Amino acid sequence: MSKGGTGVQDPRIRTRLRNRAARANETKRRDIIELMAKRFPPCRCAHCLKDCDTPTSDHVLPRSWYPTTTPENTERWQMPSYEECNQKYGQIESDLRFRLALGTDPAAPQSLGIAQSVHRSLNPSKAKREKDQRARKRQFDKLRDMVIPLSVVQADNILPTFGPVAGTATEDLIPIGIPTAEWEAFGIKLARGSTFVLEGNYIEQDHKVDVLPPMDEGDERAQKIRRAIREHGTCHTLGPGFNVGKGFAFAEKNNASLLTPITLFRFEIWGRVRIYVQILK
C-alpha cells in the first residue's frame, strides 16, 4: 500500500488518478459556483445602468469577504452587472481587501479566516509549485508598496477601529494606505447593489451618491444615521461579517419649500469596517 492513499504503485497511474480526481473536484467546484451565481434576465447593469443582454452576477459583498463563520445558507446578495464592470470592481475589491484584511482581528468570529487568507497568500514557503511561489513573492512586493511612512500618519487619518492596538511599540507599527478612490468606489458599489436587492431598483444617473468620510461610531453624524435606521429603517444581517442598515432622512435642497428625502446606508464589514453612504434623489 502506498502512502498516497490510492493504493496504486505505478507512479504514472497514480498521477493519472490524481489528475482525474482534481478534474472531478474542479467540476464540482464550478457546479457549486454556478449554483451560487444568480442568473439575471436581460436588464440594466446595476453599476453603469446600461442595458445588458447577458448580465453576469456580481456579489454585492465579494464572496471572499465573508468570514468562514458565515452559515452556508446565508444569502449572499448579488446584482446584475456587465462583465467589464464586474471585473473592474473585482480588481478594486481585491486590492482593498488585501489592505484592510491585515488590520482585522484574526480570532474574531466577524472576520475569521480573512487575515489568515491574506497571510497565506504572502508566504512563499506555503506554496507547493514554483509559479505559486513567484505569485506570493509578487504579492509581498505589492504589500511593501502599500506601506506608508509612519511619520506622515496623523491620528485623525487612521480608520476608526483600525488604530494601533494597545501595547504595540511604535517601531512595530506598519501603516498601510487606503486609497480614497477605492474606498469611495466600494461604498458606491455597496449602495448600488443593496438598492437593487432591497428595492429591485437602480440608483439613477441624476441621483447624488456620497460616500461619507470614515467616522467614529460616536460622531454626531454617525449617531444620527444609526438612529434613522433604527427608527424608520431596516437592518439586514448577512452572517456575522456583513451588516447592512438602510434608513431615511430629509434635507433642504436648493432652498426648495419641500424637503428632499435622503436614503442612508450604513455598511458594517467584519465588525470593523464601517462605510456610510447617502443618496439624494
Give yes or no for a contact between 230 and 246, defined as CB atoms under 8 angstroms apart: no
Give yes or no for a contact between 76 and 36, defined as CB atoms under 8 angstroms apart: yes
Output phi, psi for 235, to 5 deg: -125, 135
Question: What DSSP assignment string belongs to 13-26?
Answer: HHHHHHHHHHHHHH
- Read off the DSSP letter of residue 147: B
Tell whether residue 228 is a contact of Zn ion (CB under 5 A): no
Tell whether residue 45 is a contact of Zn ion (CB under 5 A): yes
Cβ proximity to Zn ion, 97 vs 192, nearer residue: 192
Cβ at position 204, least distance to Zn ion in Å: 14
Cβ at position 267, least distance to Zn ion in Å: 21
Cβ proximity to Zn ion, 27 vs 201, nearer residue: 201
Give yes or no for a contact between 84 and 170, defined as CB atoms under 8 angstroms apart: no
Distance CA 25, CA 4 (A): 17
Grid cell at residue 178: 487606503
Footprint (CB under 5 A) of Zn ion, residues 76-105? 82, 85
Cβ proximity to Zn ion, 47 vs 97, nearer residue: 47
Query: Of the candidates 8, 17, 37, 48, which one interacts with Zn ion according to CB under 5 A?
Result: 48
Grid cell 482593498 in the structure block, residue? 96
Cβ proximity to Zn ion, 85 vs 100, nearer residue: 85
Residue range at the interface with Zn ion (CB under 5 A); choices 41-49, 57-65, 88-96, 98-106: 41-49
Residues that contact Zn ion, how many (by CB under 5 A)? 5
Give yes or no for a contact between 60 and 194, defined as CB atoms under 8 angstroms apart: yes
Cβ proximity to Zn ion, 42 vs 163, nearer residue: 42
- Per CB under 5 A, residues contacting Zn ion are 45, 47-48, 82, 85
